[in-house]
Structure 1
Amino acid sequence: MAEDKIITLATRSYEHAEIIRSLLESEGIECFLENVNLIQGSISDGVKIRIREQDLEKAVKIMEEVERPELLKAEEKKRGRPSRHRILLPVDFSDYSSKAADMAMDWAARLDAEITVLHVFYNPVINTLPFAEAYVYDTSIDEMLIDLEEKAKEDMNGFMGHLKQRKKDKGLEKLHIRTKLLRGVAEDEIIHFSDEYEPTVIIMGTRGKDRKASDLIGSVTAEVMEGARVPVLAVPEDFEYKGIDNMKKVLYATNFEESDFVALDKLEKLVKPLDVSITFAHVCEKSSHKWDKVKMEGLKKYVEDKFPNTQIDFDLIQNEDFWVGMESYVRAKNIDIISLTTHRRNIFARLFNPSIGKKMLFHSTTPLLVFHARR
């Protein structure tokens, strides 16, 4: 009989992983944890929850129930939050992080927002062996952790020195910028910190689509888009940023869904201080053009009543291929930001059917602003 395949269900903090393991085992699902620091287990980040592949479907259902209360807690915290805008800026100290930081500072000045610069450095915790096999602890890991943290602090100081100079050059001395260092898995820690910080928007740099897969910060950005409850703006490495005053046109790719109306309200508030025009566009096939035209007229009436003082245009893009139609339109109309709503999908969907937001991330050199349907 073939040996059962062991897979990773999720990566969480040590405390969260232990809770999930207890719940899974209480339901008869055999489970173990990897990447646990045996000496300092209580502070381990990036702990992998491992199960047998045959238990995946049952485990996913339990996981979705476990994760749901976190959203309720976040909603409760909102009651005591100040109304000031906040921008979360995850960085890896690269050139494309600097470009995203430039845009974040200009946008923060328009929104009267504060910025938190977040860096997540890798945590080389132990890879534990499953079940009854012996565990081994490398005593050099503690020294490595200290070295990594010191390097992260040094890099953050250098990056902040650059930002302070940019603040001075831009005349933004009053702009408040905080810093935060976390140890763990980048996408997980960014999402978890975002739940606590509750920013107005997350602004991230991403590498171009021609880079090798192992070197893509874009994969982190894509995961943040999937998991964050707030809008995420991805700034491509190949995007030529000429200042916020030159960002004039925002396109919202609508699919005539109810979630669009929530996103449109957030989009209008977010980009209105930039003094931009907004275009609601829909890519349609020839066969559905007449029906889509009727839908667009209904959307137009709603939007014009809702936002009478905002310049808004509406357009149907007739093309059999969504990507070809969208990219051709963006180039022809000189669109500066593409915006759309993505939908939270379960683990199976994320594995086998990448979202439109993730595909757009690697198909465009235009900044992409993604909203989530259930935020």
Structure 2
Amino acid sequence: MRTILIPTDFSKNALHALQYAQELFKCKRACFYLLHAFADEVYGAYKTTPEDELEKLEIKKRREVEKKLNDLVEGVIGQPPNPLHTFETIASFDNLVDGVNDFVKDRNIDMVIMGTKGETSDHKTTFGSYTIEVFKYVQCPVLAVPEDFEYQQPKTILFPTDYMLPYKRRELKLLGDLAGDFKSEVHCLYITDFDVLSARQEDNQRFLKDALQRAYLFFETTGVKNRAEAIMDYIEEKEVSMLVMVNSRHSFFEDMLYRSTVDLLGLKVKVPFLVMQNLHR
């Protein structure tokens, strides 16, 4: 059974991500955990709430959040409900990133699925700041769903890679299962001016082939230019329906995402974006 964590701020975009998750795993047994982290709502924007009022505010806010979460579940279970799906709710007195990361570790969650924007996000970037923080620090695959993306099966998946990272088998199994379930093509895109792989790169590519046996694998190479532009061009050319990247310190992913904003690099991803973590779990 898949265990899926859906952080929600009760925005339209968060609801859209939940509905996408339900469709993605429509034919699979899955438990969806709906989590709302509310510590910031208790402490106030500038941590100005008097200390003697915190406990009362926490109790009051927790009751409000629990009711909202229960109402949310009632609204999405469907009529008739999908017998393969179960739902649990979590009101977390924590900030978003810590609340999500602690729950991921405690329940050994397979994937976090969330919207790219939240209630307080502006419309200048594809990814809200909270989404990028979750990408960076949560030790679990994170799938971000753009607010305007209408669900479609991930038939064509783009996986940019330089074959330098030793992939983690659990994360690749998740990708392999998704690709196998939907009979997807996985396009491994290497952005380079060199035609020959090193021995290390060849080993990692073989591992990739072994782990993704259920997918239709394609290995592509394109010349070096602005890497974000190369990815966006490939998404448009091949009508890609999901982008997958591996997050690791000092990786291409980190260089591309963790400048001041995504917009500075021209990255406006309009398809679901799965970020896999290069960590043992």
Aligned partner of 1:118 in structure 2 is 35
Aligned partner of 2:256 in structure 1 is 356
1:253 aligns with 2:160: yes
Q: Is the 8 A contact 1:283 1:322 kept in 2?
A: yes
Shift of 1:339: 0.5
Secondary structure of the residue aligned to 1:364 is coil
Match of 1:194 among 104, 122, 131: 104
Identical aligned residues as a percent? 20
Distance in structure 2 (CA, Å) of the matches to 1:183 and 1:152 = 10
1:94 aligns with 2:11: yes
Unpaired segments of 5 or more residues in structure 1?
Answer: 1-83, 130-135
What amino acid sits opposite 2:154 in the alignment? M
Secondary structure of the residue aligned to 2:276 is strand
1:218 aligns with 2:128: yes
> In the comparison of the two structures, how many residue pairs are matched?
269
Post-superposition Cα deviations, 1:44-74, rounded to whole Å, max 9, x if no partner, equal: xxxxxxxxxxxxxxxxxxxxxxxxxxxxxxx
Unpaired segments of 5 or more residues in structure 2?
Answer: none
Aligned partner of 2:273 in structure 1 is 368
Distance in structure 2 (CA, Å) of the matches to 1:298 and 1:374 = 19
Post-superposition Cα deviations, 1:309-364, rounded to whole Å, max 9, x if no partner, equal: 4311111122411011110110110111110111147xxx9xxx955355669631
Shift of 1:122: 2.9
Distance in structure 1 (CA, Å) of the matches to 2:65 and 2:85 = 23
Shift of 1:197: 1.1
Distance in structure 1 (CA, Å) of the matches to 2:51 and 2:209 = 64
Aligned partner of 1:264 in structure 2 is 172
Distance in structure 2 (CA, Å) of the matches to 1:320 and 1:217 = 23
Post-superposition Cα deviations, 1:75-98, rounded to whole Å, max 9, x if no partner, equal: xxxxxxxxx321111111111111
Post-superposition Cα deviations, 1:253-287, rounded to whole Å, max 9, x if no partner, equal: 11111324645344213442233221111222xxx
Distance in structure 2 (CA, Å) of the matches to 1:239 and 1:150 = 33
Distance in structure 2 (CA, Å) of the matches to 1:301 and 1:139 = 60
- Provide closer, same or farther for how the CA distance between residues 118 and 137 of structure 1 changes in structure 2, counting only shifts above 3 A: closer
Q: Is the 8 A contact 2:14 2:114 kept in 1?
A: yes
TM-score (norm 2): 0.80
Distance in structure 2 (CA, Å) of the matches to 1:128 and 1:172 = 42
Post-superposition Cα deviations, 1:140-169, rounded to whole Å, max 9, x if no partner, equal: 44443333223212321221121123xx36
Aligned partner of 1:9 in structure 2 is none
Distance in structure 2 (CA, Å) of the matches to 1:193 and 1:297 = 36
TM-score (norm 1): 0.62
Secondary structure of the residue aligned to 2:105 is helix
Aligned partner of 2:151 in structure 1 is 241
Post-superposition Cα deviations, 1:200-227, rounded to whole Å, max 9, x if no partner, equal: 111111129xx53899972222222222
Q: Is the 8 A contact 1:200 1:231 kept in 2?
A: yes
- Provide closer, same or farther for how the CA distance between residues 111 and 295 of structure 1 changes in structure 2, counting only shifts above 3 A: farther
- Provide closer, same or farther for how the CA distance between residues 360 and 270 of structure 1 changes in structure 2, counting only shifts above 3 A: farther
Distance in structure 2 (CA, Å) of the matches to 1:216 and 1:139 = 40
Aligned partner of 2:21 in structure 1 is 104
Post-superposition Cα deviations, 1:11-35, rounded to whole Å, max 9, x if no partner, equal: xxxxxxxxxxxxxxxxxxxxxxxxx
What amino acid sits opposite 2:215 in the alignment? T
1:151 aligns with 2:64: yes
- Provide closer, same or farther for how the CA distance between residues 294 and 324 of structure 1 changes in structure 2, counting only shifts above 3 A: farther
Q: Is the 8 A contact 1:90 1:118 kept in 2?
A: yes
1:1-375, aligned counterparts within 5 Å? 84-123=1-40, 124-125=42-43, 137=50, 139-165=52-78, 168=79, 172-207=82-117, 212=122, 218-242=128-152, 246-260=153-167, 262=169, 263-284=171-192, 288-291=193-196, 303-304=208-209, 307-344=212-249, 355-357=255-257, 363-375=268-280
Secondary structure of the residue aligned to 1:258 is coil
Q: Is the 8 A contact 1:337 1:369 kept in 2?
A: yes
Q: Larger % of helix: which?
A: 1
Distance in structure 2 (CA, Å) of the matches to 1:187 and 1:258 = 25
What amino acid sits opposite 1:107 in the alignment? L
Post-superposition Cα deviations, 1:150-194, rounded to whole Å, max 9, x if no partner, equal: 3212321221121123xx36x613411111111121111111111
Q: Is the 8 A contact 1:111 1:273 kept in 2?
A: no
Which has more radius of gyration?
1
- Provide closer, same or farther for how the CA distance between residues 172 and 316 of structure 1 changes in structure 2, counting only shifts above 3 A: same
